Amino acid sequence: MENKFEVISSVSSKSDLLTRTTSAMECGSSVVIQVYTEKRNQDGSYAISESLATVADSYIETLSNRDGSLISRSVKANIAQG
């Protein structure tokens, strides 16, 4: 099965032995946001957490350079024009 989540942001800290990735996937008129955190413990084991949330009436906005390389990706609300 194809992974339809797109990475919004990813950070890591060598000093804290921590990695956190935020991804999003459009699902109809909503966006599902996934936050995945991985922390290495002092004994070498890992603590992993994952959370999901749905943002209604939203979409993923992707900005790219002229050559197609990614500048940024973010979740935006659909705001009714009126």
What range does the domain containing 48 cover? Answer: 1-58
Enter the tokens of residue 61.
């906005």
Contacts 24+ apart (CB under 8 A), 71-74: 73/6, 73/7, 73/8, 73/24, 74/8
Does residue 40 sit within a domain?
A: yes
**How many whole angstroms separate alpha carbon 6 and alpha carbon 75?**
11
Residue 75 resides in a domain? no
Q: Is 69 within the bounds of a domain?
A: no
The pLDDT confidence band at residue 51, using thresholds 50, 70 and 90, is very high
Q: Is residue 29 part of a domain?
A: yes
If we measure between CA atoms, which residue out of 56, 59, 57 comes closest to residue 26? 59
Please check whether residue 65 lies inside any domain of the structure.
no
Domain count, the chain: 1
The answer to the question of residue 20 being in a domain is yes
Provide the CATH number for the domain around residue 7: 2.20.25
Entry pTM = 0.79
Question: Quick one: pLDDT at residue 80?
Answer: 67
Q: How many helices (H) and strands (E) does the chain have?
A: 0, 6
pLDDT for 73 equals 93
Domain assignment of residue 77, yes or no: no
Q: How confident is the model at residue 14 (pLDDT cuts 50, 70, 90)?
A: confident
Domain assignment of residue 33, yes or no:
yes
The closest of 37, 35, 39 to 55, measured between CA atoms, is 35
